[in-house]
Structure 1
Amino acid sequence: MSPPHLANLAVHVGAGTLALLVGFALLARAKGTPTHRRWGKVFCALALLVSLSAAVGTLFFRFIPVFAVLTVLVPYQLVSGWRSIHTRERGPSGFDALWTLAALAFAVALTPALVSSSGRADIVAYASLGALFTLLAYDTVRWCFPRRWFATLWRYDHAYKLIASLFGMLSAAVGNLVRVGQPWSQIAPSVIGLLTIAFFFVQLRRREVRARLATHGQAEYG
């Protein structure tokens, strides 16, 4: 392994370890606070550094289909999920459309590489590519949504994409470090991630119902 490859790997592993620690700490703490926003920026910066070093490794040192797909999927989710905080009830803007088109171009370009590869581990690559195309389809269709929907949808959008990014990095780490039980050991973090997303979706829904009932009560007795 060449010195540049080692240096890039060190950056990737170091940033990835810190991103996972910060990400799971954020999951366990209160959301929407100044601390959450501050450390959320740190998580995104670390995760983007992980994605950049992964892209360098994929392009210049070793091409592995599943990690190539994750190199597109994770940063797409990160930036798109972060954007939802800033656009909120306004919905997607021109930047979001360009970001979706760029990710779509990379996804289409990666598809032939996956088709030409073989092996059981490709299950993870195909699943990751399917997740990317599904997300791109949603982000395209949402342009047809009434603008009033985004006052509620942005929270779900943010939660899904940032949590999915976190567990996507965990899945990549397991794929690199755990050699037994593949590909199921690599799929497991994604399944846990989906369950975590479902949990937070339920929490968000309950919060909305409580807020609606409180508003209705104030209007009735005010």
Structure 2
Amino acid sequence: MALLHHFNIGQHIFCGSLAMLLGLVPMLGRKGGAVHRRFGRWFLVATAGVLVTAVLGLAVFNFRGYLVGIVLLSVYQAWSGYRAVRTRAAGPTRLDGWVAAGFLAGSVGLVLALRFIDLVWTPGIIYSTLGALVLMTLYDLARFRFVPVWRRTLWRYDHLWKMISAYFALVSAFTGTVLPQYKPYSQFGPSALGLGLVLGFGLYYALRPGWPLPVLPSAAG
């Protein structure tokens, strides 16, 4: 069992490191082209690997409640950012609503369970992480009330906001784990940098009407 646990940890580190490398290309490179789409898909695959290995590690080998929140947040951000492009023509679907509701329930459940969990990370970091997930899922559920506006403009910023946030959530999980001597700065520093990039990119593209984003073959589903 110990051998399988260490193998799973190795796969988790590999997928996370790969995701951080792959994510740099679509984030910093030219938007909307084939390279952006290709590396974006690879980033999502690597992020899915992070999720699978994290679930195995947390549920089967060594449950660490303080890491569940950051995994939930990064995976949901990547999923919702991807879906913003997939559903840009028709608007969010029932699938998006059910997934948002599921992650909302999971985040609330984890908040209630934290009192019974040994918190290794700074409590404020954990609660703010789960708070960010709650706010994002509530926003995604609220989108059904303003679909026309979302389809015209907001989907672009959804994609930008969530994919950059997903990337820096992974970076925060990495630095917070491997640099514990610098807590809490190693935990929230990358996320603060990501927020600054989201605001900077958002302002930059707001001043450039019609800025491109990846074009996927299907607009719904």
TM-score (norm 2): 0.89
Contact 2:66 2:121 in 1 (8 A): no
**Within the alignment, does 1:20 sit opposite 2:9 as a pair?**
no
Q: Displacement of 1:123 after TM fit?
A: 1.4
Letter in 2 for 1:35: V
Give the fraction of aligned pairs with identical amino acids, expressed as a percent.
Answer: 33
Which one has a bigger Cα radius of gyration?
1
SS of structure 1 residue aligned to 2:67: helix
CA distance in 2 between partners of 1:8 and 1:37 (Å): 29
**Is the 1:88–1:150 Cα contact (8 Å) retained in structure 2?**
yes
Match of 1:58 in 2: 58
The whole-number CA distance in structure 1 between the counterparts of 2:187 and 2:211 is: 38
Give 1:108 shift.
2.1
Q: For residue 159 of structure 2, what is the aligned residue in structure 1?
A: 158
Q: Report the 3-state secondary structure (helix = DSSP H, G, I; strand = E; otherwise coil) of the residue aligned with 1:78.
A: helix
With 107-116 and 13-22 compared, the bigger mean Cα shift is at 107-116
Q: 2:172 maps to which residue? A: 171
Unaligned runs of 5+ in 1: 212-222
**Equivalent residue, structure 2, for 1:197:** 198
Looking at both structures, which has the greater relative contact order when contacts are Cα pairs under 8 Å and sequence separation is at least 6? Answer: 2
The structure carrying a bigger helix percent of its residues is 1
Provide the alpha-carbon RMSD of the alignment. Answer: 1.9
Q: List gaps (5 residues or longer) in structure 2.
A: 213-221
Q: Which residue of 1 aligns with 2:134?
A: 133
Q: Distance in 1 between matches of 2:75 and 2:121?
A: 25
Corresponding position of 2:144 = 143
Report the 3-state secondary structure (helix = DSSP H, G, I; strand = E; otherwise coil) of the residue aligned with 1:90: coil
How many residues are paired up? 211
TM-score (norm 1): 0.89
Residue 26 of structure 1 contacts residue 40 of structure 1 at CA under 8 Å; is this kept in 2?
A: yes
Q: Distance in 1 between matches of 2:121 and 2:43?
A: 32
- Residue by residue over 1:59-116, the C-alpha shift from the partner in whole angstroms, topping out at 9 and shown as x without a partner, is 1222222311122111111111111111114221111011111112211221122233
